[in-house]
Amino acid sequence: MASPQLTTSPSQPARPRVVIVGAGFGGLAAVRALAKAPVEVLLINRTNYHGFWPLLYQVATAGLEPESIAYPVRAILRRYRNASFLLAEVTGVDFARRLVQTSAGPVSYDYLILAAGSTTNFFGNDQIARYTMGMKDLNEAQRLRNHVLLCCEHAAAESDPIRRAALLTFAVVGGGPTGVELAGAFVELIRHVIRHDYPMLDVQQARVVLIEATSHILASFPASLQRAALQRLQQMGVEVRLNTPVAGADPHGLSFRDGSRLDAETVVWAAGVRGAPLADALGVALGRGARVVVTPELTLPDDRRVFVIGDMAYLEGYRPGVAYPMVAPVAIQMGEQAARNIIAQINDQPMQPFRYVDKGQMATIGRSAAVLDAFGIRLSGWPAWAGWLFVHLMALVGFRNRALVLLNWAYSYFTYDRGVRLIFGVGAEEQTVAEAVLRD
C-alpha cells in the first residue's frame, strides 16, 4: 500500500504539503483558496464525491435521486494543478510526527486542515440511536426513502387499522431547518403522490408529526418568521408539538417526558448535530456539541500547523457566548481563512483572525413556502421560496447536477409528482416485504 504519494520520504518535498480532511463546503473552499499557493494539496475524503447536503431531505422524500446532489471530487480537482485526492477514512492524527492515520495508511503533512463535518447527535441515548433514523448522508437519506415507501406498501396490505395508522405516521424530531423542511416534504409526498399511488388507502389516516422540545421552531430565526413558518406548517396539516421533549424510542414509536407516546413506524431524528467522530479521536479540548476548540486564527491552541474548520470547529464570537453555527457559509469562509493563514505562515507573516460575513439564513417549508432572513430582509411565502430555489440551484456544483435538479423540480412542480419513489439500494435489500411480515 506504499505509494510515492503517501510515504513519508526522509527528505520532505520541496513544496510544503497541505493535507485537507473532508470534501465538504469547508474543505473544497480551502482547496480553491490554495490553488495558486506554492503548496502541494492532498484532499482526503471517505467518499469519492462532494455531497450537497442542503438538498438531502429531498433525496429522503423521493424528490431527487442521490446522484443529483453528489459530485465526484476528482472532477472538481481537475481544475487545480496542485491538488490530488485520496479516498480513505481518517481515523486519527499523530501531531508529534505530523501523520494523518487513514484506512489507506499513514499520510504525512506540513499543514493540516480538518474539515470532517458533523454527525447526528443522539445525546448518548442508545435507544434513540437504534430506533430512529438519522439523515446526514446519502446512505441514510436513501435508507429513509426506502423505509417510507415500504411503510406505504405494508399499509396497503395491512388490515389492522391500528397497525396501518402507525405505518402511515411520519414523525420528525427537531424543529430546526432540517426538521421543518423534512416535515413539509413528507406532507407533499402524502398529498400529491401517496394519495394517487395507493387509492385503497385513506390518506386522512396519514399523519406528519413535528416534535420540538422547546417552545418554538427555527430557533435561530427572528420571531416573526418563526410564527410564519409555524402557521404555514399547520396550514399544510403538520401536527407541530412544541414543548414536547422526547424520553425514549422503540421499534414502533416514541415516548415523551410527559408520559405520553406516539405510534410511528417512521421516526427521523433531526434534533441535533455534533462534531464528526474524528473530533473525539484527536484527544484535544472539545467545546459544546463535541466540536474542537480553535483559536480565532482557526488553529489548535497549541499546534499552529493544524487548522479545524466548519461544523467540526468550536469558535465563539458570532454572538457573545455563542459558537458559529454549523452552516455552509461559515464552513466556506473558515476554509478560505485557514488557507490564507497557511500562506501567511509560509511567508512568515502574521495570521489573521476569522471574521464571519453573515449571508443570512433560509428554510423551505413546502411548495411556494419558505422563510428567508438575510441582510436585514425578512421574507416568507412565495418570494422567500423563489429566493431559496435560486440560491440552492446556483450553489450546486456542476452543470449536470444543476440541470438534473432543475429538471426534477420542474417535473414535480408542474405534475405534483415525485419521480424517484423507488425502493432500491441501501436499506432496500435487508428490508424486504418478507422480512417485514415475519417481523410483525
Q: Say whether residue 165 binds its own copies (CB under 8 A).
A: no
Longest dimension (CA), the chain: 74
Cβ 430 to its own copies shortest distance, Å:
11
Helix (H, G, I), strand (E, B) or coil at 184: helix
Cβ 63 to its own copies shortest distance, Å:
11
- Determine phi and psi for 379, rounding to 5 degrees: -120, 150
Q: Say whether residue 74 binds its own copies (CB under 8 A).
A: yes
Instruction: List Cβ neighbours of 80 (8 Å cut-off, separation of 6 or more).
Output: 31, 32, 35, 41
Q: Computed over its alpha carbons, how large is the radius of gyration of the chain? A: 23
C-alpha dihedral (148, 150, 153, 157), degrees to nearest 10? -110
Cβ 122 to its own copies shortest distance, Å:
20
CB atoms near residue 317 (< 10 Å): 14
Site track 5-44 with its own copies (rule: CB under 8 A), x = hit: xx--------------------------------------
Site track 373-402 with its own copies (rule: CB under 8 A), x = hit: -------------------------xxxx-
Q: Which is nearer to its own copies, 65 or 373 (CB)?
A: 65
Q: Which is nearer to its own copies, 6 or 286 (CB)?
A: 6
- Based on the residue annotation, tell me whether 181 is a catalytic residue of this protein: yes
Amino acid in the structure at residue 170: F
Q: Are strands 377-380 and 369-374 parallel, antiparallel or unpaired?
A: antiparallel
Amino acid in the structure at residue 284: V
- Determine phi and psi for 326, rounding to 5 degrees: -85, 75
Report CA 42 to chain centroid distance, whole Å: 24
Figure out which of the listed residues 25, 49, 122, 170 binds its own copies, where binding follows CB under 8 A.
Answer: 49
Residues 186-215 that bind its own copies (CB under 8 A): 196-198, 200
Figure out which of the listed residues 142, 266, 299, 380 binds its own copies, where binding follows CB under 8 A.
Answer: 142
DSSP 390: H
Annotated catalytic residue: which of 40, 140, 158, 181?
Answer: 181
Figure out which of the listed residues 220, 397, 425, 431 binds its own copies, where binding follows CB under 8 A.
Answer: 425
Q: Say whether residue 2 binds its own copies (CB under 8 A).
A: yes
31 Rama class: left (phi>0) / alpha (psi -120 to 50) / beta: alpha
Q: Say whether residue 278 binds its own copies (CB under 8 A).
A: no
Cβ 287 to its own copies shortest distance, Å:
29
| Residue-wise DSSP of 311-346 | GGEE-EEEETTEEPPSSHHHHHHHHHHHHHHHHHHH
CB atoms near residue 430 (< 10 Å): 9
Figure out which of the listed residues 96, 159, 319, 347 binds its own copies, where binding follows CB under 8 A.
Answer: 159
Q: Which triple of cell numbers denotes residue 335? A: 476554509
Figure out which of the listed residues 15, 16, 35, 75 binds its own copies, where binding follows CB under 8 A.
Answer: 75
Q: Which stretch binds its own copies (CB under 8 A): 216-224, 263-271, 342-350, 428-436?
A: 428-436
Q: Say whether residue 68 binds its own copies (CB under 8 A).
A: yes
Smallest CA-to-CA distance from 341 within 305, 293, 389, 288 is with 305
Q: Say whether residue 437 binds its own copies (CB under 8 A).
A: yes
Which residues bind to its own copies, rule: CB under 8 A? 1-6, 46-49, 65-68, 70, 72, 74-75, 78, 84, 86-89, 103-105, 138-139, 142, 149-150, 153, 156-159, 196-198, 200, 398-401, 403-404, 407-408, 411, 417, 419-426, 429, 432-434, 437, 440
Mind telling me the catalytic residues?
Answer: 181
